[in-house]
Structure 1
Amino acid sequence: MRKITTDNVIIGAGTAGLAAYRAIKSANQEAILIEGGSYGTTCARVGCMPSKLLIAAAEAHHTQSRFSQFGIEINVPTTVNGKKVMARVTTERDRFVGFVLEGVDAIPKEDKIVGYARFIHPHQLMVDDHTEITFNKAIIATGSSPVIPPFLQELGERVIVNDDIFSWQDLPRSVAVFGPGVIGLELGQALHRLNVNVSLFGRDNHIGPISDPVVKNEALTIFKDEMNYIPDAQDIKVVRHADKVHIYFTTSDNTQQKIITVDYVVAATGRTPNVSQLNLPALNIELDQRGVPLFDRHTMQCGNSHIFIAGDANHNVPLLHEAADEGKIAGENAISYPNIEKKLRRSAIGVVFSDPQIAIIGQRFADIKRDQIVIGEVNFGNQGRSRVMLKNKGILRVYADKLTGRLLGAEMIGPDAEHLAHLLSWVHQLNLSVNEILALPFYHPVIEEGLRTALRDAQEKINTLSHSQIAA
């Protein structure tokens, strides 16, 4: 049995854990980094980067569908070589993972321990059965794992999670994707555009992270027009027959049972924090109903304890840039503990890399008091630059305080949403009003003019309210 004493221990060497380690070491404090799985971060191995590689291939193939509308004729039909598609995804994915591994390799050997940690005391933990560590402060950065719901678990190897897709050497003929959230929507549409027969199953007409009913209805129309998307599947039953899966279901407007047969089922039904094996009760800190420690998102501290939690493990905002920020905050507060400082959190920004893209910044529609806002809107159907590029689909809605005019948030589906989301999140973090944003430059002809249209709509409504109050 090896015994170690250290000032700080970090459980998990993903994005959050590495950020915490760097913060602590920059202050010349001790830190031990524990990792039980593979090095390389979720983003690089099975998340952001490989999924975007698959999406890029899908976009390249899908582009040809618009050629004829531009007057361009293709005389030779294009085909999708699934093996070559997945070979590029794998090669480029491994390249991104390699960059992360280079950083991990640079960490001194004595600062790294391989194995799975479990707490045995508020200031002690065990790594597997080979190392006991006594520590002053601990940072939990164990990430998350995809969940397979019970009704799919009997399908054996015919049910996979999104992580498994990136180990494919070829594309299958057909899949059913359960869960039209961010992951399911991105991967489902990408596979569809790579000539895989895709059926996307949802419930209660939810789609992506959208909460605005107007934006949601637009998104439902767009994706139902393109692919076999069943947003309100009910009475679902899955049965495996040899190497096929039969899916029986009904819908809210048709009680007659339907059946779809596929090669694989992809469970994109959410992820769960990797905390169940940590023996958190040994820490004497308060846990929520999922067994995740209660924490302050501005300090990453669990209660008033010496324990901090960052990244996907806290199940707050499972995004790479948020995990990096949280890891840094956790590391900095571990350094100064017991003197804890609330840190600035950046304006919320989320993007779904579907086509059209979906974006949400600031406060969501569902979280805003309707009687305190005005809503500015633009439909991209007739927006100039969008029509030029044949990308004229979608709606942007911006939410502004009706008294101060301050931008509170926005939800959208439409062209270049990833770029508009950045512009909106920047001005949101600067606390700018709609009028102040409109004073900034807008070029012509660009998609950003659509944003200006929505802002003008909001400002006109603010002006109307002000005039009516003066008249009253």
Structure 2
Amino acid sequence: MRELSCDVAVIGAGTAGIAAHRAAREAGARAVLIEAGPGGTTCARVGCMPSKLLTVAGRAAHDARAAHRFGVRVPEVAVDGPAVLGHLRAERDRFVRHVFEGLEEWPADERLDGQARFLDGETLAVADHTRIRFRAAVIATGSSPSLPKPLEGLGPARVLTTDTLFGIADLPASLAVLGGGPVGIEIAQAMARLGVAVSLFDVGHELAGLTHPALTRAAVEIFGAEIDLHLGTEVMGAEPDGDGVRLSVRNPDGSQGSVRVERVLAAIGRPPNLEGLALEAAGLRLGEHGLPDFDARSLLCAGGPVFIAGDANALRPVLHEATRQGRIAGRNAAALAGSGAATAPEPWTALAMVFTQPGTASVGAPYDAQAEDARVTGAADFPDQGRARIEQRNRGGLRIWADRRSVLLGAEMIGPDVEHLAHLLAFAIQDGATAGRLRDRPYYHPTLEEGFETALAAITRGGAGTG
């Protein structure tokens, strides 16, 4: 077995791992990057980029069908499933190649292929070919889709995950989506707009990451117009039915039912890839589900000179957070390897969004019904908002909450182009702004941002117009 030594060993060549390796090298450390799988980042291969390509295709079909609202007649809209998926894969592969081009710039002796496992607190084995002595390590192994027990054993011909969905040759005639979170609702709407009969099942009653009651109701109404929603419904079993799948379900009222579909998509979450790492051998203190105890700011694990970043720590599994966490972990690992100390930067303002149409977003502190006495909430709704109505995208609304001094805390929203409103609010919260300070900015007419100003005005009036 080959013997190597380094300052920092980074396990995983995804978004967080690449950022950690680069940060460690920039800090002067000798770093080695280890990858057991295809690499190329989850986002580029099976996550945000291919899913957005599917979403854009669905939006194009939907907009063509709806053009009559403006007096524009499109005689026929035909969806070519193989062409949609072929374009998706071509663009997806381009994004992945771009990631690998960056890796190819690094020396070959800094990149190793194979499954890594800890032998002790300062040694890793990579497959059966290399043993690495390290001063500090970064776990950035990403995540993998979870498969519900009722779907186990049905095989990839019937059951899809986000890791396999984008490899299918053609669109299915019908699809059951299990999970109404960001991934599930985004793909469900895109598929429905591409002509697939979509049924979505979730044991909860919320969609797209929204939790504010008014916005949750709006989401159910909006998405329910395109998707057959089964909320509060549990999938109890699944079995082959011809070339499809028959799902057995328990409805909210306790009654039993069944649904037959051609394929099922499991979208109930992506747990961290920690199996096979032998974390106990490194002396790490493990918590629930085998996840190491770690400091959420420095990312240092309890029990050893090991950091954990990106989807592997399940803290905030989105790309911009993985990039920042990778940089923090890489810098801190380099510092620890050089007998320095790890730093603990303040976390960014939480920011999450879903690229449905209309989109949804959550910013900052989450909605908390128990905290209403300590908060002031401002509301704005889009049905009568000028720019939204002009574009016939006048659905949804937003809720912004602040403390009693009007310092902005957080928000949820569903509506047209809320990704841009969410960014503005995230910047303001990060800077500690008040509603009055943010309101005292130019809001051009007619823009969607005017709705944002409406909610801020409600906060400055002490919550008038909340809902």
User: In which range does the TM-score fall when normalised by the shorter chain?
Assistant: over 0.9
* SS of residue matched to 1:45: helix
Give distance in 1, aligned partners of 2:398 and 2:251.
29
* SS of residue matched to 2:447: coil
Q: How does 1:154-173 map to 2 (within 5 A)?
A: 154-157=153-156, 158-173=158-173
TM-score, scaled relative to structure 1? 0.95
Higher helix share: 1
Range that drifts further, 406-415 or 168-177 = 168-177
Q: Confirm or deny: 8 A CA contact 1:381 1:393 kept in the other structure.
A: yes
Alignment partner of 1:286 is 2:289: no
Aligned to 1:399: 401
Alignment partner of 1:228 is 2:228: yes
Aligned to 1:275: 274
The code of the aligned residue for 1:289 comes to E
Give distance in 2, aligned partners of 1:187 and 1:241.
24
> In the TM superposition, what is the alpha-carbon distance from 1:202 to its structure 2 partner?
1.0
Q: How does 1:116-127 map to 2 (within 5 A)?
A: 116-127=115-126
Could you list the per-position Cα deviations for residues 153-209 of structure 1 after superposition, in whole angstroms to 9, with x for gaps in the alignment?
Answer: 132221110121111121111110100111111111101100011111111212121
Aligned to 1:439: 440
The code of the aligned residue for 1:420 comes to L
> In the TM superposition, what is the alpha-carbon distance from 1:443 to its structure 2 partner?
0.5
Shift of the 261–419 alpha-carbon distance from structure 1 to 2, 3 Å rule, reads same
Q: Confirm or deny: 8 A CA contact 2:179 2:267 kept in the other structure.
A: yes
Aligned to 2:383: 381
> In the TM superposition, what is the alpha-carbon distance from 1:250 to its structure 2 partner?
4.0
> In the TM superposition, what is the alpha-carbon distance from 1:132 to its structure 2 partner?
0.8
Give distance in 2, aligned partners of 1:293 and 1:366.
28
Q: Confirm or deny: 8 A CA contact 2:283 2:303 kept in the other structure.
A: no
Give distance in 2, aligned partners of 1:278 and 1:458.
50
Q: How does 1:88-127 map to 2 (within 5 A)?
A: 88-127=87-126
Give distance in 2, aligned partners of 1:49 and 1:57.
13
Q: How does 1:418-433 map to 2 (within 5 A)?
A: 418-433=419-434
Structure 2 unaligned runs (5+)?
none
Q: Confirm or deny: 8 A CA contact 2:241 2:260 kept in the other structure.
A: no
Q: Confirm or deny: 8 A CA contact 1:361 1:411 kept in the other structure.
A: yes
Could you list the per-position Cα deviations for residues 37-72 of structure 1 after superposition, in whole angstroms to 9, with x for gaps in the alignment?
Answer: 012110000001111011010000000232121111
Range that drifts further, 147-156 or 47-56 = 147-156
Alignment partner of 1:87 is 2:89: no
Aligned to 1:209: 209
> In the TM superposition, what is the alpha-carbon distance from 1:364 to its structure 2 partner?
0.7
Range that drifts further, 227-236 or 61-70 = 227-236
Shift of the 89–193 alpha-carbon distance from structure 1 to 2, 3 Å rule, reads same
* SS of residue matched to 1:125: strand
Give distance in 1, aligned partners of 2:439 and 2:358.
25
Give distance in 2, aligned partners of 1:68 and 1:27.
58
* SS of residue matched to 1:332: helix
Q: Confirm or deny: 8 A CA contact 1:9 1:137 kept in the other structure.
A: yes
Range that drifts further, 434-443 or 294-303 = 294-303
Give distance in 2, aligned partners of 1:361 and 1:234.
29
Percent of aligned positions with the same letter in both sequences? Answer: 41
Alignment partner of 1:349 is 2:351: yes
Range that drifts further, 239-248 or 177-186 = 239-248
Could you list the per-position Cα deviations for residues 93-113 of structure 1 after superposition, in whole angstroms to 9, with x for gaps in the alignment?
Answer: 011111001001111101011
Could you list the per-position Cα deviations for residues 7-28 of structure 1 after superposition, in whole angstroms to 9, with x for gaps in the alignment?
Answer: 1100001110110111111122
Q: Confirm or deny: 8 A CA contact 1:405 1:462 kept in the other structure.
A: no
Alignment partner of 1:139 is 2:138: yes
> In the TM superposition, what is the alpha-carbon distance from 1:463 to its structure 2 partner?
9.1
Could you list the per-position Cα deviations for residues 250-296 of structure 1 after superposition, in whole angstroms to 9, with x for gaps in the alignment?
Answer: 4224x554332111111001111011210001111211111111111
Shift of the 84–235 alpha-carbon distance from structure 1 to 2, 3 Å rule, reads closer
Give distance in 1, aligned partners of 2:193 and 2:41.
28
Range that drifts further, 256-265 or 161-170 = 256-265
Alignment partner of 1:358 is 2:360: yes
Structure 1 unaligned runs (5+)?
465-472
* SS of residue matched to 1:102: helix
RMSD: 1.5
* SS of residue matched to 1:408: strand
TM-score, scaled relative to structure 2? 0.96
Give distance in 2, aligned partners of 1:268 and 1:462.
37
Give distance in 2, aligned partners of 1:199 and 1:413.
21
Q: Confirm or deny: 8 A CA contact 2:20 2:327 kept in the other structure.
A: yes
The count of aligned residue pairs is: 461
Give distance in 1, aligned partners of 2:145 and 2:301.
24
Give distance in 2, aligned partners of 1:112 and 1:412.
43
Aligned to 1:449: 450
Aligned to 2:59: 59
* SS of residue matched to 1:103: helix
Q: Confirm or deny: 8 A CA contact 1:142 1:312 kept in the other structure.
A: yes
The code of the aligned residue for 2:322 comes to A
> In the TM superposition, what is the alpha-carbon distance from 1:388 to its structure 2 partner?
0.6
> In the TM superposition, what is the alpha-carbon distance from 1:242 to its structure 2 partner?
3.0
Shift of the 368–325 alpha-carbon distance from structure 1 to 2, 3 Å rule, reads farther
Could you list the per-position Cα deviations for residues 419-449 of structure 1 after superposition, in whole angstroms to 9, with x for gaps in the alignment?
Answer: 1111110111111000101101100000111
Q: Confirm or deny: 8 A CA contact 1:175 1:264 kept in the other structure.
A: yes
* SS of residue matched to 2:286: coil
The code of the aligned residue for 1:67 comes to A
Aligned to 2:197: 197
Could you list the per-position Cα deviations for residues 71-102 of structure 1 after superposition, in whole angstroms to 9, with x for gaps in the alignment?
Answer: 1122x311000011011001000111110010
